[in-house]
Amino acid sequence: MNVRLHGLVAATHTPFHTDASLAPEVVPLQAAHLAAHGVGTAFITGSTGESHSLTRAERLTIYQAWAEAGPAHRLRVVAHVGSNCLEDSKAFTAAAADHGFHAVAALAPSYFKPRSLDSLVDWCAAIAAAAPRLPFYYYDIPSMTNVRFDMAEFLTKAGACIPNLAGIKFTNDDLSAYSQCLEMDGRHFDIPWGIDEKLIDALGVGALGAVGSTYNFAAPLYQELIACFHRGDLKAARDLQRQSIALVDTLAAVGYFGAAKALMDWLGVPVGPARRPLDNPTPAQLASLRAQLEAFQWFGSSWPGAVATHQKVSPEPCLVG
């Protein structure tokens, strides 16, 4: 249970061909790209990975691809195993253990929802028990699941009955609750932050790790933000966070998921389109988007006009100074 999701953790895209069929052959390119930009951990088949748009067989195929590509590029791999079907979640968890992944995480079911915290804890306990030696994280993202419970109380109850509970992937903008979870039991639990646009706020209350989609393509920006924060240059850190917000807003204006995947294509990692019902930008929107992004200097050497000094990053950055 000593796995800690510290530093930047990239929530990776699931790669598709142009016809939206699975493209597992792209996973080694994703892994190489992350390693080249100083990201040491991949969080696969989560929200960014469009997990609920994948079949069971497709998710297992992506697990297999990352089981090979992760170690080849010295990346830790965390698999999201959540599903609306408990038996599927248990099967994904067992597969993650068989592949030697470092941890698993699970969303709450979002169609038939747990009506009480005890029901949620029971659900998580059943998933975690499918691989009792593998660290388990609850993935709290109420904006998507509409499942909302007190996470400090969750840690108390789940910690008493889930021996391999590692912590919470906290994609919830309640900073007070986040701070409370961080400090519980002498910081016993690992609570990686999950909202890229508010990373500086999480750093302010003691975050040590962060999981996010923009770390796929803008990790150097966040590494610099973290460095500025810890050396006390808050003005520079705030400016970098504003750049992060502007980047997200620019992508979201034409449909975040499809736009982010198009951006990865431009960076030499062809992860393809987003699957329906998500939208993809039109050709005109893509042309406009690329023109807007030409001035953004944090994408690395594969992007025209990139600032070379931003490429020198440590193999696995940490959020502590």
pLDDT tens for residues 173-213?
999 999 999 999 888 999 999 999 999 999 999 999 999 99
Cα atoms found within 13 Å of the Cα of residue 302, Cβ hemisphere only = 16
d(CA 68, CA 149): 37
266's enclosing H/E stretch is: helix 256-266
Q: What is the pLDDT of residue 295?
A: 79
Q: By C-alpha distance, which of 21, 15, 14, 78 is closest to 49? A: 14
Q: What is the pLDDT of residue 1?
A: 57
**139 carries an active-site annotation:** yes
Is the pLDDT at 314 greater than 50? The verdict is: no
- Given its phi and psi angles, is residue 230 left (phi above 0), alpha (psi -120 to 50 degrees) or beta? alpha
73 and 31 Cβ atoms separated by less than 8 Å: yes
Which class for 197: exposed (0-12), middle (13-18), buried (19 or more C-beta within 10 A)? middle
d(CA 111, CA 146): 9
Task: Given the residues 138, 139, 215, 256, select the one marked as catalytic.
Answer: 139
Number of Cβ within a 10 Å radius of residue 286: 18
Distance of CA 301 to the CA centre of its chain: 23
pLDDT digits (tens, 9 = 90+) for 128-179: 999 999 999 999 999 999 999 999 999 999 999 999 999 999 999 999 999 9
Task: Given the residues 169, 215, 222, 261, select the one marked as catalytic.
Answer: 169
Q: What is the pLDDT of residue 214?
A: 97
**63 carries an active-site annotation:** no
Q: What tokens appear for 44 in the block?
A: 């696969």
Query: pTM for this structure?
Result: 0.92
pLDDT digits (tens, 9 = 90+) for 26-38: 999 999 999 999 9
Determine phi and psi for 107, rounding to 5 degrees. Answer: -70, 160
Q: Cis omega before residue 277 (within 30°)?
A: yes
71 and 296 Cβ atoms separated by less than 8 Å: no
Share of the chain above pLDDT 70, in %: 93
d(CA 199, CA 158): 26
What domains lie within the chain, and their CATH numbers?
A: 7-311 (3.20.20.70)
